[in-house]
Structure formats: C-alpha cells, structure tokens
C-alpha cells in the first residue's frame, strides 16, 4: 500500500521566495493534517481538513501561510514570502475518519531551509 507521499523531501530557498509543499494522502482517507516540527517547539498542528474542507486552521502561524485541498488526493501548504524562522520539517498525515480512534498516517516530511 502506498503511504502518504510528500514532495519535495528537501527544499532550500532564499528568504522572500514562495515555497509550496505538496501532499498526497492515502487513498480513501478523508482527513488530512499539516504539522511543523522544530527542536524548539516540537510537533505543531498547523491545519486539518475533513472531506477537503478546512476544519481548524488555528495553528497556522500567520497570513504568510496558506493551505488548500482541491480534491481528496492532493493538498498544498504554501508560504509566501518565506522567512528563516520558517525553517523546519513539515509533515502531512492522513486518517480514515473523524471518529478520533483512527490513527494518523504520516509522510516522511519535507525538510525546509530558508536562507
């Protein structure tokens, strides 16, 4: 079975540039989550979708961050303009339902470095 697929695996770019991270959830999963992981703050939930609709975006740090899910098989997280403090590993996860008892399945992450 294909797991959650994220691209790119690594991204290095200069401050001020637009960054787009991509995620393909597991087929049949209807919940999708974006996380950010840093040494200082640990694992933070940025936003999650259910049936392609954003349910909770309270973790999005500021207006420079935006996320979309145009269909059940694709989501993007965009940062514009990027700043050095956005450097982190960004994870996408998906789960089969909203019951709360379903585990989330994580991708391998995108390691983002903003110079």
Partner 1 sequence: AQSVTQLGSHVSVSEGALVLLRCNYSSSVPPYLFWYVQYPNQGLQLLLKYTSAATLVKGINGFEAEFKKSETSFHLTKPSAHMSDAAEYFCAVSSYGNNRLAFGKGNQVVVIP
Residues within the interface to partner 1 (CB under 8 A): 4, 31, 33, 42-43, 45, 48, 50, 56, 91, 93, 95, 97-109, 111
User: By C-beta, is 13 or 89 nearer to partner 1?
Assistant: 89
Closest separation in Å from C-beta 46 to partner 1? 12
User: By C-beta, is 14 or 44 nearer to partner 1?
Assistant: 44
Pairing of the two strands 10-13 and 110-114 = parallel
* CA dihedral of 30, 71, 69, 39, whole degrees rounded to 10: 60
């Amino acid at each position: 079975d294909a797991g959650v697929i994220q691209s790119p695996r690594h991204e290095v770019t200069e401050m001020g540039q637009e960054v787009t991270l991509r995620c393909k959830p597991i087929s049949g999963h209807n919940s999708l989550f974006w996380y950010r992981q840093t040494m200082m703050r640990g694992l933070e939930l940025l936003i999650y979708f259910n049936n392609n609709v954003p349910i909770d975006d309270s973790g999005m740090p500021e207006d420079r961050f935006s996320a979309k899910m145009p269909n059940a098989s694709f989501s993007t997280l965009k940062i514009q303009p990027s700043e050095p403090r956005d450097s982190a590993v960004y994870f996408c996860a998906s789960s089969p339902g909203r019951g709360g008892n379903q585990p989330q399945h994580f991708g391998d992450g995108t390691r983002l470095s903003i110079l």
